[in-house]
Structure 1
């Protein structure tokens, strides 16, 4: 009452002022008190003012309702008001058009009836979550049109607040996502098709690779016999006959070519065996692997003043035989390219990365130009003259092949005249060995 008193007083003051400004004639009555007449006139004017205020408020309310109704009716997406039981209380033109039914036929019916049977559980769960709080909830369903066709829709719902709590009804927005869903399904189908094709191609590549490895192995084995015969006959020719200088040069050329072919076939056999060797992943202490390889290298180290050192090395997941082969090839490579150094140094160390153990073999040898680093791991590729450094160009290829079969990777860094470092990264949680 106290809150309304000021407005009532104002209305009375306005009424009294208006009465003073333009007195109204009232038919005289017998014994009609002037005070009573004044009060009646004031109340009449006061009521007229209040009525005018109510009429303006009603017009504003009706205008706001009209604007809201227009927004509701002509919104580009579907809107519904649904009660706790799932009954449609109100629906706009967009939702009516989506479902292909008149608004009057939709009102009062279960909205779940227009959802494909396999997705009605989604709508039931959505309604339950909507009335648990005032937060917006979302789900995707397949809706049914009146002609029996279907389309994908996203439902976004929120309870209508009543005294700060979910009331007895909610607003549900219906967004047509049929095109987006079709695109998603097409992308999924294409991805599945692509994965299948990749698997088929990968299987074909593996099959061809295995066939090539078998062919390489067979060729290398078959060449060894004829090469031994060539070397034997050339040796006999050189011992039992007198030849002029040109003939001797030819014989020496045949001998050196045969030796080169023997080196190549031996390297191919080693690479083929490394590619076909059986592997078993297990915890492998690289400190012990280093000691084993170092012991096997003693004959090569005996006549050289090489400082071969190692930091503490980690336990990795890998195959023992494979990792001995990797470390042996890398150390052989380092020994070869530090041959002309007055103070040759080779150091083995490790780096611990979040997902990998990285092993490194560093030397202070001749190094290489980083522009050609990709050629290091290609078969028969050499960055240095064959006359200066022997070899077939297969050792580092073997390293890459063996490491890749264990899910790892290899790379190298170096500078001409400043040495090189070769890195082997092995995953801490490898997949099944290739």
Structure 2
């Protein structure tokens, strides 16, 4: 086919018009990175005329941190079939720093070697919005940390106040118990019913207050407990707990059995408290049984050990199970079964500090099983 010489100049003029009037900021660069030509949008973005830009190393229009990035782009664009991009900053003629996206590639990819075409996209508003978002996030994190610090300080102060109150109550409670005991002995065996009943009720009330102060003190001690992760043989822990509970077995027929117990990662003191509370709970609610049967169950999943203490005691209605692990969440009247409603809360709190959980299953008058799920890879949470 014969070459039409009239088409080449027309194409060149058309390409030049597209380059000059394009809304995007275009620059033509030599392989060394010198500006050969810049369109109107590029001149407006940089604040320099086309004449002032021609022959100038483009790197001098960049911030020092971006000059290394631009050198990398030049090296990549020399042999790349596609455009290469990076974020950077350019300097406007008035000294303003602009955030831009640098997109560099051959003017005609796959064609003869020639100038490189650089496209500048102003992303300053997006970067400012991003920095504002980061600043806001950092500010919120600082406020959250400050709030957490204040909350911990308030909790420590409250725990300190409660501890002092518990200590201050010990002496008047001991005096009250002593006074009631002396009064009962002074009155002798022939106490009229109208005197004996309120005296007995008063003594029981004081005993309940003493038990409550002891439970609250134990709960506070648990919250301050320093925990550590190490290998713990649950069989050994169970044996130690049962030794401590021997006085509760007096004058009773109690059979305690257990599945083979695993060795876990945990804190022996915390696990002893948890098993002790569950076993004490089982002993309490099997008191009316001629033979109390308590069995420690073990189930294993891929990520957890499920440890359950099963008994043949009073049981409970599953519709009320959510109250069991709440503070003072008793399901049975104190006149039937003593207790303060804090022991199971202690178990829940300790278990949750290791990333575990607790629950219970039961039926009225058919016994109950209290479970805790212990992670195989626990993490101590505060």
- State the TM-score, normalized to the length of structure 1: 0.74
* Aligned length, in residue pairs: 374
Q: How do 1:35-434 residues align onto structure 2 when only pairs under 5 Å count?
A: 50=2, 54=4, 58-59=6-7, 68-159=15-106, 167=113, 169-241=115-187, 243-300=191-248, 303-306=252-255, 308-316=257-265, 318-337=266-285, 344=293, 346-353=295-302, 357-363=304-310, 366-369=315-318, 373=322, 375-405=323-353, 407-414=354-361, 416-417=363-364, 419-426=368-375, 428=377, 430=379, 434=382
Tell me the SS of whatever aligns to 1:54. coil
Tell me the SS of whatever aligns to 2:4. helix
Q: How do 1:6-25 residues align onto structure 2 when only pairs under 5 Å count?
A: none
Q: Distance in 2 between matches of 1:252 and 1:145?
A: 92
Query: How far 1:413 moved relative to its partner?
Result: 4.8
What are the superposed Cα offsets for residues 103-148 of structure 1, whole Å, 9 maximum, x if unpaired?
3332322111111123212222232233353344322212111111
Higher normalized helix content (fraction of residues)? 1
Tell me the SS of whatever aligns to 2:105. strand
Q: Distance in 1 between matches of 2:307 and 2:13?
A: 77
Structure with higher Rg: it is: 1
Q: CA RMSD in A?
A: 3.3
Q: Distance in 1 between matches of 2:81 and 2:193?
A: 103
What are the superposed Cα offsets for residues 201-233 of structure 1, whole Å, 9 maximum, x if unpaired?
211111121122222222112212211221221
Residues 88, 100 of structure 2: 8 Å contact kept: yes
Structure 1 unaligned blocks of 5 or more: 1-6, 8-49
Query: How far 1:428 moved relative to its partner?
Result: 2.2
- State the TM-score, normalized to the length of structure 2: 0.83
Residues 368, 420 of structure 1: 8 Å contact kept: no
Change (3 A) 1:250 1:324: same
Structure 2 unaligned blocks of 5 or more: none
Query: How far 1:266 moved relative to its partner?
Result: 0.8
Query: How far 1:240 moved relative to its partner?
Result: 2.1
Q: Distance in 1 between matches of 2:73 and 2:283?
A: 71
What are the superposed Cα offsets for residues 149-183 of structure 1, whole Å, 9 maximum, x if unpaired?
1111121233456658x945433322211111111
